[in-house]
Amino acid sequence: MNSKEFTYFRKKLNKTQKQLAKLLGTSLKAIHSYEQGWRTVPGHIERQALFLVSMKLRASKWNKSCWTIKKCPTERKKRCPAWEFGAGDLCWFINGTICEGAVQRDWNEKMSICRNCEVLQPLLNPEVGHLP
């Protein structure tokens, strides 16, 4: 997540930098650093910020289940944690999902796939999706 995205998500959450720092369990200085691009946004902060924004927007039905979008075969769905927990719109948040036919090793590898996926794209790129 780059500084521009981080700032965009903070504003989507309608939070000040201080409020977001408390919400994410980090310091105000860290929030300043992420927004200025002085520090890279750590995976756990990125994940939590994306989750919070997705929860805020969930009621607007801006998304569809990943297995619907990706047309996953039944055998793959049954092995996937996103299917198990009924969280097809949060597949990017759940470790161990079977994206592109395999489980990814870590958050960075997973996000390199998810950032280009139709499930997460509407959240990352408002011009692609229909975010309120």
Count of positions (residues) in the chain: 132
Residues 6+ apart with CB under 8 A from 29: none
Q: Are residues 40 and 83 both part of a single domain?
A: no
pTM listed for this prediction: 0.74
Q: Do residues 54 and 30 make contact, with C-beta atoms less than 8 angstroms apart?
A: no
Q: Are residues 68 and 50 both part of a single domain?
A: no
Tokens of residue 41, six digits: 């946004």
Q: What residues make up the domain containing 17? A: 1-59
Q: Are residues 55 and 97 both part of a single domain?
A: no
pLDDT (tens digit per residue) in 40-86? 999 999 999 999 988 877 656 556 788 888 888 998 888 899 999 88
